[in-house]
Amino acid sequence: MALPVEISATVRKKIRRYFAEREAGRLAYRRSDRLLAEIARNLTPGVPVQLDGREVILVDLFAGKDVVFRPCGVRRFELEWVE
């Protein structure tokens, strides 16, 4: 492994900001996953609902599949705007 090198204060600041932003994103995803789970209990997949003059639909990403294998975490549901 290479020896650490000196970096400027600006680069140090950017590295700290990078890790802070990444952590904030992780926490935001966790909160949005909880909200989506609550929403999914109240909507029927494939049935559009009205929201602010537009339509939103709950999509079941695994509909019609008997077996689902993914090497990482994958949500079952997504919310999408209907175009």
pLDDT at 68 exceeding the cut of 90: no
Confidence class for position 66, pLDDT limits 50, 70, 90: low
Query: pLDDT higher for 81 or 15?
Result: 15
The pLDDT value recorded for residue 4 is: 79
Instruction: Evaluate if pTM is beyond 0.75.
Output: no
pLDDT at 19 over 80: yes
Alpha helix ranges (H) inside 1-83: 9-40
54 forms bridges with which residues in the sheet?
Answer: 51
